[in-house]
């Protein structure tokens, strides 16, 4: 039986659906319904049972047939400043699951984050030797970094584990995330409602307004990568999960206008002063390590991903709330 935590969330529900497509139905879905809309993400998915994430911890040793753990559940709100809450969700909970996996020697795949890279001054290389030099810019990134470090320093680990640093993931099933939804989703909804896409002005002379860049990766590519590690279980370690190609917010906006067929425009707005000193102007995943591991499947381009997301999901399901 495969355990997927965060199974009703954005990435978790897509991964669950992807495993179903690969013929895997023996899945224990773990999560909490902390949002009244998230149940929709489990519609048409197949799994043997669903259990609340806290109850799951109390019953861990009752499960004798767990063959893999894919830990995607976390508090992903990058604006939360309550470190105690984040530490409980993102660090202590993850430690409990990892220790269980290590004791039972169960393969463990978990979600880390590109937020651990901070301002990028130490690069975006997923080399474990570089990991302890990273300085996250917010509490969320700190908790993810702390768990990465804890895993690397652990004396006991399962025979295979992989920490996946997700970059800017976008795609179906993120409608419930509100302000934490991707820029793709938020910009599309702005376009639908106001015929405008608002982008932050640049406060760095090296970047024009809207030319701030991110590594955007389509959620189905994330699911494909997770399934790859589940199947192949090669060399354990930390891996970047990104497209390996930075794209500007202007590019994203123009593609949304193109495929939504809405005559909209871009408006550049002031960046809030409280985030200006924490703002990342450029992120781009180094994907050499994951390619070297054997993953060589082609990924969606930003244009193909946005086209599919808009035409097959956003426009069809009217997901802007």
Residues 85-93: what's their mean pLDDT? 89
Helix (H, G, I), strand (E, B) or coil at 286: coil
What is the greatest pairwise CA distance in the chain? Answer: 58
Q: What are 112-131's pLDDT values in tens digits?
A: 999 999 988 899 999 998 89
**Nearest of 94, 100, 57, 59 to residue 74 by alpha carbon:** 94
> Tokens in use for 17?
């659906």
Helix (H, G, I), strand (E, B) or coil at 216: strand
List 117, 140, 239, 259, catalytic entry: 140
- The residue count of the chain comes to 321
The pLDDT value given to residue 224: 97
In CATH, what number does 177-214+245-282+300-317 get? 3.90.25.10
The pLDDT value given to residue 78: 72
> Tokens in use for 73?
């559940």
- Percent of the chain residues past pLDDT 90, beyond the cut: 80
Helix (H, G, I), strand (E, B) or coil at 31: strand
Q: How confident is the model at residue 8 (pLDDT cuts 50, 70, 90)?
A: very high
The pLDDT value given to residue 277: 80
DSSP H or E segment with residue 68? strand 68-71
The pLDDT value given to residue 317: 66
140 catalytically annotated = yes
Contact 90, 140 (CB under 8 A): yes
Q: What are 283-319's pLDDT values in tens digits?
A: 999 999 999 999 988 899 999 999 999 999 998 766 6
The pLDDT value given to residue 217: 98
**Nearest of 209, 115, 231 to residue 167 by alpha carbon:** 115
Q: How confident is the model at residue 255 (pLDDT cuts 50, 70, 90)?
A: very high
Kindly report, as residue ranges, where domains of CATH 3.90.25.10 are found in the chain.
177-214+245-282+300-317
The pLDDT value given to residue 318: 66
Residues 139-149: what's their mean pLDDT? 94
Spatial separation of the C-alpha atoms in residues 135 and 30, rounded to whole Å: 31
Contact 202, 281 (CB under 8 A): yes
Residues 144-155: what's their mean pLDDT? 96
On the 0-12 / 13-18 / 19+ scale of CB atoms within 10 A, 240 is buried
DSSP H or E segment with residue 84? helix 83-86
Kindly report, as residue ranges, where domains of CATH 3.40.50.720 are found in the chain.
2-168+216-244
177 catalytically annotated = yes
List 144, 177, 213, 289, catalytic entry: 177
Q: Which pTM value belongs to this model?
A: 0.94
169, 170, 173, 179 alpha-carbon torsion, rounded to 10°: 90
The pLDDT value given to residue 181: 94
Mean pLDDT of the chain: 93
> CA separation (Å) from 243 to 117, 128, 158, 204, 216?
16, 20, 28, 24, 6
Contact 8, 25 (CB under 8 A): no
Residues 76-81: what's their mean pLDDT? 72
Strand pairing report for 213-218 and 168-170: parallel
User: Residue 92 pLDDT more than 70?
Assistant: yes
The pLDDT value given to residue 260: 95
**CATH 3.40.50.620 holds for 2-168+216-244:** no
Residues 198-227: what's their mean pLDDT? 96
253, 259, 265, 267 alpha-carbon torsion, rounded to 10°: -20
């Amino acid at each position: 039986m495969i355990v997927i935590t965060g199974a009703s969330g954005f990435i978790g529900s897509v991964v669950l659906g992807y495993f179903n497509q690969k013929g895997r139905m023996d899945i224990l879905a773990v999560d909490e319904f902390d949002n009244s809309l998230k149940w929709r993400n489990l519609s048409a998915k197949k799994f043997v049972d669903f259990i609340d994430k806290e109850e799951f911890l109390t019953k861990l040793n009752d499960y004798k047939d767990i063959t893999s753990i894919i830990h995607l559940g976390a508090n992903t709100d990058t604006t939360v400043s309550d470190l105690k809450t984040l530490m409980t969700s993102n660090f202590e909970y993850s430690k409990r699951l990892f220790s269980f996996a290590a004791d039972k020697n169960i393969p463990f795949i978990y979600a880390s984050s590109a937020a651990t890279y901070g301002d990028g001054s130490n690069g975006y290389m997923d080399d474990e030797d570089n990991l302890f030099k990273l300085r996250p810019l917010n509490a969320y990134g700190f908790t993810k970094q702390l768990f990465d470090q804890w895993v690397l320093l652990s004396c006991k680990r399962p025979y295979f584990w992989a920490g996946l640093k997700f970059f800017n993931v976008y795609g179906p099933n993120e409608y419930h995330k509100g302000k934490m939804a991707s820029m793709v989703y938020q910009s599309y909804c702005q376009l639908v409602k106001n015929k405008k896409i608002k982008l932050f002005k640049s406060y760095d002379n090296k970047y024009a307004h809207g030319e701030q860049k991110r590594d955007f990766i389509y959620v189905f590519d994330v699911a494909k990568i997770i399934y790859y590690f589940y199947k192949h279980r090669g060399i354990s370690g930390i891996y970047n999960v990104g497209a390996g190609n930075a794209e500007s917010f202007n590019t994203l906006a123009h593609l949304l206008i193109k495929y939504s067929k809405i005559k909209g425009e871009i408006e550049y707005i002031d960046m809030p002063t409280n985030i200006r000193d924490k703002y990342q102007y450029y992120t781009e995943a180094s994907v050499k390590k994951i390619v070297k591991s054997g993953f060589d499947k082609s990924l969606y381009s930003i244009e193909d991903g946005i086209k599919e997301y808009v035409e097959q999901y956003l426009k069809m399901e009217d997901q802007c709330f």
